[in-house]
Chain A
């Protein structure tokens, strides 16, 4: 019954590494999102995509990029990981009308630690 899958639950990477976080959904949703979540700061939108090969910056895109080559997959890329990118990363997907009423479906999250 898993609908949004994030490839890793826990990830430890070294400073300066290029990091890929993968998210796959099986609901044929058009919209996909990457958030990071830090204590006291709530959910902050990094990037989102409303269609294949389309991307839009969210509130905190610096230090990140994304890729959406296929409808079901949305990848978040940390070009050169830094310790301040240690966080919980959440992927979500959302359909267009009439499925807008269903709200986001979230993955289980990836807790990334950069050392």
Chain B
């Protein structure tokens, strides 16, 4: 079965520190992979995506992610976190097989940033 796992429910980092949010997936082929960010009380905004080619992808707000097929992972990174990065982050994979286009979302990782 296709699935997405975000092992960390909450992460706290200090402002200026580096960040890595983990995402592992189970999928039969090379999936489309996405990271979304959700600020409090808002909808989800696309940070970056991967579907083929260079395994290191750049996104908005200074984020990047690396697709590692051997580890079935698509971890999100940022070299220096800003207080405004405090939000919830969702990894997603798709399209789900079975005839309909939809994504599977991880449970999310809530990021807190200490000054």
Residues A111 and B41 in contact in the complex (CB < 8 Å), given A50-B101, A56-B100, A103-B92: yes
Number of B residues near A (Cβ < 8 Å) is: 23
List the A residue with the shortest CB-CB distance to B101: A31
Contacts of B44 on A, CB cut-off 8 Å? 90, 92, 104, 106
B24-68 contact mask (Cβ, 8 Å, vs A): 1 or 0: 000000001010100001111110010100000000000000000
- A33, A45, A56, A103, most chain B CB atoms within 10 A: A103
Which of A13-21, A62-70, A71-79, A94-102 lies at the binding interface? A94-102
Count of A-B contacts with CB under 8 A?
62
Contacts of A105 on B, CB cut-off 8 Å? 46
The answer to whether A27 has its CB under 8 Å from any CB of chain B is no
| Cβ distance A4 to chain B, nearest Cβ, rounded Å | 8
Within the assembled complex, what's the spacing in Å between the Cα atoms of A104 and B101?
Answer: 10
Contacts of B108 on A, CB cut-off 8 Å? 42-43
Contacts of A101 on B, CB cut-off 8 Å? 32, 49, 51
| Cβ distance A90 to chain B, nearest Cβ, rounded Å | 6
Interface size classification for chain A: 20 to 34
Contacts of A6 on B, CB cut-off 8 Å? 43
A27-69 contact mask (Cβ, 8 Å, vs B): 1 or 0: 0001101000000001101001010000010000000000000
List the B residue with the shortest CB-CB distance to A43: B105
| Cβ distance B91 to chain A, nearest Cβ, rounded Å | 11
Residues A42 and B34 in contact in the complex (CB < 8 Å), given A50-B100, A103-B92, A108-B43: no
Within the assembled complex, what's the spacing in Å between the Cα atoms of A94 and B103?
Answer: 10
Given contacts A43-B108, A107-B43, 15 further A-B pairs with CB under 8 A are A31-B101, A42-B107, A43-B90, A48-B100, A94-B102, A94-B103, A100-B94, A100-B95, A102-B46, A103-B36, A104-B36, A104-B44, A106-B45, A108-B42, A111-B41
Interface residues of A (CB under 8 A from B): 4, 6, 30-31, 33, 42-43, 45, 48, 50, 56, 90, 92, 94, 96, 100-109, 111
